[in-house]
Amino acid sequence: MAEATKAPAKAPKLADPMEASIDVATQEMIRRAQQLQIETVFDRAVTMKPCAIGMQGICCKNCAMGPCRLPLPKDGIQGEDTRKGLCGATANTIAARNFIRMIAGGAAAHSDHGRGVAETFLSVARKETEDYTIKDPAKLRAIAPYYGVETTVEADGETLDRDIDEIALAVAESAIAEWGKNGGELLYLDRAPKPLQEKWEAMGVKPRAIDREIVEIMHRTHMGVDQDYKNLMKQGARASLADGWGGSMIGTDLQDVMFGTPSPLQSEANLGIMKEDHVNIIVHGHEPLLSEMIVAASQSQEMLDYAKEKGAKGIQLGGICCTANEILQRHGVPPAGTYLQQELAIITGACDAMVVDVQCVFQNLANVAKCFHTKLITTHPIAKMEQENVIHIEFDEHYAMQDAKRIVKMAIDNFQERGAEIMIPRHKTKQIAGFGVESIQYHLGGTFRGDYYTLNDNIINGRIRGIAGVVGCNNARTKHNDAHIKIIKELIKNDVIVLTTGCSAIAAGMEGLLTPEAAGVHCGPGLAEVCETVGIPPVLHLGSCVDNSRILLAATEVVKAGGLGDDISDLPAAGSAPEWMSEKAISIGQYFVSSGVYTVFGYHMPVEGAPVFKDYLYKDMEKMYGGKWDCEADPIKHAHKMIAHIDKKRAALGIDKARERVLMDMADRQALGME
Ligand code: SF4
Ligand code: MSK
């Protein structure tokens, strides 16, 4: 072929920024990456298609006779489903095994995080470290009874407060035992409403020890063990409860004890929080153990002076993913973005160090960092990267501040190494974060009754139609943040108050939904009235992925406050993970379902290839736990499925009529000072 007639080399297919994200900063940075010819997850999502059989949950590779793939017949299943793997495993068995292995992965990730926190807390209690202390002794006293630890002592006929260090040591030892104790059940199960505990007892799903439930999943799903999807799911439910009411809840509580229980504070969100004239350090991952110290180190006069010496005006700390949420809710450190923005933070050219710990960290960060001056630092012994440009500084809680200062200094030293290729998008949004069980009680609770009375009252009278938990990841197979924002807006428009965590919370912050002012713009009249009266946003940021345990406890408080049934499953409430991608999301989804919550996932669920198993999750589970799974990719339909469920629960409670009245009730508005 003559040179002139040769087809030009095919340009790689690239993501369309407008199709990839609803966020302008993200769109700008995708364009920027493409100009610089740096590939990102958005481009890879265009060039690599997912496996259709894997997506449906019906590929088994649990032994070397496989992988066995069981595609659905084109015209669906007519009559008996005869599909089977070499060993005879049915589609139900394969999908259930895959599903509960995801639960095991998710529960392990959350719970290992919790274990790390508990071990650090034990070091604090033993006075082996000076860098961490007990910042919230009241919370420690509040949780101690669940661990069987006395908080008072009798002396000379008087009841006195027990020494806080003694309580700390006893709680730490009891907490750590939860991972591997022999016999008994997890102690925190006692915090759930009694009818729920009875359901778990009847179903035989009360977790015994956290590690045990995860190991048992790996055993049961080994080739030739458990081959009954119902029995497999029983263990899935048990392991998920060991996560939500175990590893995650212990992690959240002990983090609050050591680092402080969050209370509402103001901050900002999105890539625009990075500053060209500052040293920018981005922390990313999940565990706050090191990032807490990095916050302290970067605020220390020593480091600030050093940064100025090197020509910077200061140190700007920012976060990605749940490490971001942890330091946001306790210190107001702004998130630079969600899961899908991690590469983009480096592509600004102004990221002097990205410090990562565990979970949700792209290995491609190393390839992107190579194109810039950015120091990419791994810090956790279980999470390293093979690329040579990655620096590993192993974090040791006994020398926490020393490690943190070393990292901050490395970032400062790197400030002068920046190239000319700097582009920080200007977009950032104001937000209020840092809500929790305690602060909801403070803002929406009764002054005299000290519980969730006011919240319940507003649900009963219909101003608040119901409660939704909207949580979870981004997924590069769906438009970044689109489903999160559409679903949340549709819910609050219909007077449903939203509790949010994880990347969903960051997305809501970026969209300006975490401000009290959002109520007047986006809410239905009832919810707007409550938010404006109390001065809270209609979407409450409750923290990170492990903090979904806060939602379980908030729901329990609502039950306790009365008037809305006896169990979480009676509440006009629903859960959602619009853009999920992580195994942790499946574990969270299952512990919500097993705790009585109707839970809708977006995008897809890996069960479509096993219709009987799917029905078991989407229908039959409700009879067992009061909660069930559902999936809806369309955000508006997704929100309305949740609202329909909320209305169903309102009708069952006999409070559906109250809502119709309240929206026209002028006297009530006047009583609230709104007219
Ligand atoms: Fe195939 Fe059975 Fe082996 Fe799975 S366990 S790969 S279905 S033979
Ligand atoms: S970080 S698990 S992408 S929420 Fe918790 Fe975000 Fe999902 Fe990771």
Same domain for 280 and 226, yes or no, is no
Same domain for 254 and 286, yes or no, is no
Q: Is residue 78 a part of any domain in this protein?
A: no
CA torsion 557-563-567-570 (nearest 10°) is -120
Name the DSSP class of 57. T
Contact call for residues 439 and 262 (beta carbons, < 8 A):
yes
How far is residue 319's CA from residue 274's CA, in Å, rounded to a whole number? 10
Same domain for 283 and 247, yes or no, is no
Last residue of a domain, one of 417, 452, 480: 417
Q: Is residue 628 a part of any domain in this protein?
A: yes
- Number of domains comprising the chain: 3
Last residue of a domain, one of 417, 443, 466: 417
The first and second tokens of residue 183, run together, are 């016999």
Which ligand is the nearest neighbour of the Cα of 65?
1
Same domain for 605 and 457, yes or no, is yes
Q: Is residue 51 a part of any domain in this protein?
A: no
Ligand 2 atom, smallest distance to 502 CA:
4
Measured at the CA of 591, the angle between CA 588 and CA 595, to 5 degrees, comes to 140
Q: Is residue 293 a part of any domain in this protein?
A: yes
Same domain for 503 and 479, yes or no, is yes
Name the DSSP class of 374. P
Same domain for 299 and 278, yes or no, is yes
Distance between Cα 504 and ligand 2 center (Å): 8
Ligand 2 atom, smallest distance to 338 CA:
6
Same domain for 254 and 384, yes or no, is no
Q: What is the DSSP string of 231-246?
A: HHHHHHHHHHHHIIII
Number of H helices, E strands in the chain: 30, 18
User: With the C-alpha atoms ordered 653, 657, 662, 667, is the resulting torsion angle positive or negative?
Assistant: negative
Same domain for 489 and 580, yes or no, is yes
Low-confidence ranges of the chain (pLDDT < 70): 1-9, 445-450, 661-675
Q: Is residue 338 a part of any domain in this protein?
A: yes
Give the burial class of 80: count Cβ atoms within 10 A of its Cβ; 0-12 exposed, 13-18 middle, 19 or more buried: exposed
Distance between Cα 412 and ligand 2 center (Å): 28
Last residue of a domain, one of 357, 385, 417: 417
Ligand 2 atom, smallest distance to 339 CA:
3
HSE of 198 in the Cβ direction (CA atoms, 13 Å)? 6
Report the residue among 473, 579, 581, 603 best suited for mutation to probe ligand 2: largest number of ligand atoms under 8 A from its CB. Answer: 473
Same domain for 193 and 226, yes or no, is yes
Report the residue among 58, 59, 60 best suited for mutation to probe ligand 1: largest number of ligand atoms under 8 A from its CB. Answer: 60
Ligand 1 atom, smallest distance to 68 CA:
1
Residue located nearest, by CA, to atom 6 of ligand 1: 66
pLDDT digit string, tens, across residues 223-278: 999 999 999 999 999 999 999 999 999 999 999 999 999 999 999 999 999 999 99
- Whichever domain contains 397, its CATH number is 3.40.50.2030
How far is residue 443's CA from residue 541's CA, in Å, rounded to a whole number? 14
Q: Is residue 66 a part of any domain in this protein?
A: no
Same domain for 388 and 526, yes or no, is no
Same domain for 166 and 203, yes or no, is yes
Residue located nearest, by CA, to atom 7 of ligand 1: 85
Q: Is 160 helix (H, G, I), strand (E, B) or coil?
A: strand
How far is residue 42's CA from residue 45's CA, in Å, rounded to a whole number? 5
Cis ω before 145 (30° cut-off from 0): no
- Whichever domain contains 130, its CATH number is 1.20.1270.30
Distance between Cα 287 and ligand 2 center (Å): 12
- Per-residue model confidence (pLDDT) at position 634: 98
Say yes or no: CB of residue 51 within 6 Å of ligand 1.
Answer: no
Q: Is residue 71 a part of any domain in this protein?
A: no
Q: What is the CA radius of gyration of the chain?
A: 25
Contact call for residues 407 and 355 (beta carbons, < 8 A):
yes
Residue located nearest, by CA, to atom 2 of ligand 1: 87
Domain of 383 in residue numbering reads as 271-417
Question: What pTM value is reported for the model?
Answer: 0.95
- Per-residue model confidence (pLDDT) at position 10: 72
- Among candidates 275, 128, 367, which has minimal Cα distance to 376? 367
- Among candidates 662, 537, 607, which has minimal Cα distance to 70? 607
Contact call for residues 327 and 259 (beta carbons, < 8 A):
no
Same domain for 408 and 479, yes or no, is no
Q: Is residue 322 a part of any domain in this protein?
A: yes
SS (H, E, C) 286-354: CCHHHHHHHHHHHHCHHHHHHHHHCCCCCEEEEEEHHHHHHHHHHHCCCEEECHHHHHHHHHCCCCCEE
Contact call for residues 547 and 505 (beta carbons, < 8 A):
no
Residues within a 6 A CB radius of ligand 2: 286, 321-322, 339, 359-360, 472-473, 502-503, 544-545, 582, 584
